[in-house]
Amino acid sequence: MAPKIAVKDGRLAKRGGMSDTNLLLTITIVVFLLMYVLAVVVLGAGFRKPQAFFNILNENAALIILSCGMSIVMITGGIDISVGTLTALVCMSCAVHLDYKGGSVFTALLIALGIGVAFGLVQGFLVAYLDIQPFIVSLAGMFFAKGMTTIVNSTQFNVAHEGFQALKAIRVYVPGMGSINKRGIYVPAYVEPGVVIAILVVILLFVLLKWGKLGRSFYAVGGNAASANMLGINVKKTKFLAHLLCSTLAGIGGFVYFMHVGSGSPSHAAGAEMNAIASSIIGGTMLTGGVGNVVGTFFGVLSLNTIKNIVASLGLDEAWWTNITVAAMICLFLVIQSVVLMRKNEKK
């Protein structure tokens, strides 16, 4: 991806220099690798098994999907803080549908998608065509989803539906990965189906953002909406589609979350929107728009949760330590990014 270009006559030997997006992405990946290697070397045990790594994925498949959607909205210069409570709403609706209304897994999936799309249409319309600040729109979306979840059903319950249980139990084994347990038996490493979905989402979105006309429009609108308009991009439509995509992904992420926990509860995915924003930021997406990448976001989620695991395995399992460490990590990344970009701009 690094830009390497030499015009034929060598008039311009200088390289294009790294784009902001790639620069931040590189920082993220390097920091994540360093952190994980450090964890393996210093803390050993819990981190050495491949399954330890895949468990981070299993636990956070939904967060990966939510964060990717968040990154896209952030790239266009917006924000969507409704994704967390939307996840809870999807879980609760699917749970009620399966256990109380006798629905099938397929229709549950349709419900999940439908909720996501519906939120996306409304929020996208309000943001793009009525020009209302995305923060306010998604704040209302967040409140709405929160309230609706308890209106659908106010208490937590586990889903007993057979078809769903079967789906939930599916394990995808990772070839060539595994470890030998205490009794000397080789246990292959596995991931849940949600992880496969999450990785597919990351790949698809990566392609969209890199090559898709729509993806490039996201960057253009985030870089400078007025200019993008002059360049012939339909800014309103682009913003609308970004929000639609984000909410739809939240619907899918909600279903993945549901497959992982197998229950409905008003407190599901609490604060997930903030985790998604944090992951995006750690992954090098900037809230000001125009800069970011879903691959970075993927590593952002991994970084965020690796640090949580490190804190836990240090024996500091009081909740406050996790929060404080995570906050410190966001702070560190922000300062790194801000310093790097400031210096880069100064050089110019």
Partner 1 sequence: MTKLASPEKKTFGAKFKELASNQIFIPVAALLLLVLFNLIADPGFFKITLGQNSNGDPVLSGYLITILNNASELVILAIGMTLVTAASGGQDISVGANIAIAGSVILRILCGNQGARPETMQAPIIVAFLAACAVSMLFGAFNGTLVAYFKIQPMVATLILFTAGRSIAAWINNNQLPIISDASFGYFGNFIPGIPVPTPVFIAIACVIVIMLVLKFTTLGLLTQSVGINSHSSRLNGIDPAFVKFITYVILGLCVAVAGLIKVSRISSINYSVIAKDIEMDAILAVALGGNALSGGKFNMWGSILGAYVIQFLTTTLYKFNVASDALPAYKAVVVILLVVMSAPVVREKMGKAMKSAASKKTAKEAK
Partner 2 sequence: MQDSAVLEMRGICKYFPGVKALQNVDFTLRQGEIHALMGENGAGKSTLIKVLTGVYEKDGGEIFIEGHEGAVSIRSPQDAQNAGISTVYQEITLCPNLTVAENMYIGRTKGALTNWKKMNEGAGKLLEALDIPAVPTQQLGSCSIAVQQMVAIARAVDMDCKVLILDEPTSSLDEQEVEKLFKLMRDLKAKGVGIIFVTHFLDQVYEVCDRITVLRDGQLVGEYIIEDLPRVQLVSKMLGKELDDMASIKNDSDAAAVDLGTPVLEAKGLSSAEGIKPFDFNIHKGEVNGFTGLLGSGRSECVRAIFGADKKTGGEVFMDGEKVKIHKPLDAMKHGIGYLPEDRKQDGIVGDLSVRENIILALQVMKGFFKPFSRAQAEAFADEYIKLLEIKTASSDTPIKQLSGGNQQKVILARWLLTNPKYLILDEPTRGIDVGTKIEIQKLVLKLAGEGKSVTFISSEIDEMLRTCSRLMVMRDRKLVGELSGDDLSQTKIMATIAGGEN
Residues 41 and 255: beta-carbon distance below 8 Å: no
- Which residue has 């750690």 as its token pair? 282
Q: Does residue 190 belong to the site contacting partner 2 (CB under 8 A)? A: no
Q: How far apart are CA 210 and CA 219, in angstroms?
A: 10
Give the interface size with partner 2 as a residue count (CB under 8 A).
38
- Mark 7-26 with x for binding to partner 2 (rule: CB under 8 A) and - for no binding: xx--xx-xxxx-xxx-----
Pick the piece of the chain touching partner 2 (CB under 8 A) from 46-54, 143-151, 210-218, 306-314.
210-218
| 310-to-48, 93, 322, 338, 343 alpha-carbon distances in Å | 12, 35, 9, 26, 32
Q: Does residue 214 belong to the site contacting partner 2 (CB under 8 A)? A: yes
Q: Does residue 286 belong to the site contacting partner 1 (CB under 8 A)? A: yes
One-letter amino acid of 74? M
Residues 264 and 279: beta-carbon distance below 8 Å: no
One-letter amino acid of 76? T
Q: Does residue 132 belong to the site contacting partner 1 (CB under 8 A)? A: yes
Q: Does residue 337 belong to the site contacting partner 2 (CB under 8 A)? A: no
Residues 222 and 76: beta-carbon distance below 8 Å: yes
Binding residue for partner 1, selected from 102, 131, 182, 315, defined by CB under 8 A: 131
Binding residue for partner 1, selected from 147, 163, 171, 231, defined by CB under 8 A: 147
- Which residue has 């997406």 as its token pair? 285
Residues 168 and 262: beta-carbon distance below 8 Å: yes
Note the residues at the interface with partner 1 (CB under 8 A): 79, 126, 129-133, 135-137, 139-144, 146-148, 150-151, 154, 266, 274, 277-278, 281, 286-288, 318-324, 326-328, 330-331, 334-335, 338-339, 342
Note the residues at the interface with partner 2 (CB under 8 A): 3-5, 7-8, 11-12, 14-17, 19-21, 210-214, 216-217, 219-220, 222-224, 226-234, 290-291, 348
